[in-house]
Chain A
């Protein structure tokens, strides 16, 4: 198993550009989520999904869109990038969709810079 795969690893955007961060998992996990990591602020939840066709907002959803058309993929879209979105982005997944709390498997991260 490859686990959780994120692409790209690095990306530089200009303000106003759009892009999609890709996340795929091959563990048949129902739960998938996106976090951003900023210095001194830990990991903050952007959006999450408990299964195909089901998504919901986390702590910091503004400026980001998600969709979940398959169990394997959970892309994160930036429609109009802003410098405040400069961050490291992590995708994470887990087996459970019951909400009882389970181990999260993280991807390797995407370092995004918005100029």
Chain B
């Protein structure tokens, strides 16, 4: 079945620096790739997503890139702020399967 690997498991950056989280998926038919942010004790919330017909998508300080050939996608956060500290999950889904397979999460700490 589909498998999604996520790295790193923890990431510490200085405030103002950039953070990059990478995910690799196994099913070449996957075509939807969302990213969720989960603050401590809270529910996961979608922050950005990308479909397979697009190579990059940006939303202010957040961007996601997709390399279909290599089967990996990445989350980029620029000018990090303390409120970016959270656990980030990537996921992959294939049309018609109704399943979202999540990565194991990255705990991001932004140091002031």
Interface segment among B12-20, B44-52, B59-67, B74-82: the answer is B44-52
A42 and B98: CB pair below 8 A?
no
Residue numbers in A under 8 Å from B32 (CB-CB): 100-101
B98 and A56: CB pair below 8 A?
yes
Interface: A58 (CB within 8 A)? yes
- Report the Cα distance A58→B98, complex, angstroms: 9
B1 and A59: CB pair below 8 A?
yes
Of B31, B51, B98, the contact of A48 (CB 8 Å cutoff): B98
Residue interface bits A102-115, CB-to-B below 8 A is 1, else 0? 01101111000000
B100 and A104: CB pair below 8 A?
yes
Interface: A44 (CB within 8 A)? yes
- Nearest-CB residue, chain A, relative to B3: A59
Most chain A CB within 10 A, of B6, B49, B96, B100, is at: B100
A108 and B34: CB pair below 8 A?
no
Residue numbers in A under 8 Å from B91 (CB-CB): 43
Given known A40-B104, A101-B31, A101-B32, contact A106–B1 (CB-CB < 8 A): no
Residue numbers in B under 8 Å from A59 (CB-CB): 1, 99, 101
Residue interface bits A50-65, CB-to-B below 8 A is 1, else 0? 1000001011000000
A90 and B43: CB pair below 8 A?
yes
- Report the Cα distance A33→B93, complex, angstroms: 14
Of B1, B31, B34, B43, the contact of A107 (CB 8 Å cutoff): B43
Of A99, A103, A104, the contact of B97 (CB 8 Å cutoff): A99
Of B34, B104, B105, the contact of A104 (CB 8 Å cutoff): B34
Of B9, B89, B95, the contact of A100 (CB 8 Å cutoff): B95
A–B Cβ pairs within 8 angstroms, 5 of them: A59-B1, A59-B99, A103-B49, A108-B42, A109-B43
Which are the 8 A-B pairs with shortest beta-carbon distances?
A: A101-B32, A106-B43, A43-B102, A42-B104, A99-B96, A42-B102, A101-B93, A103-B46
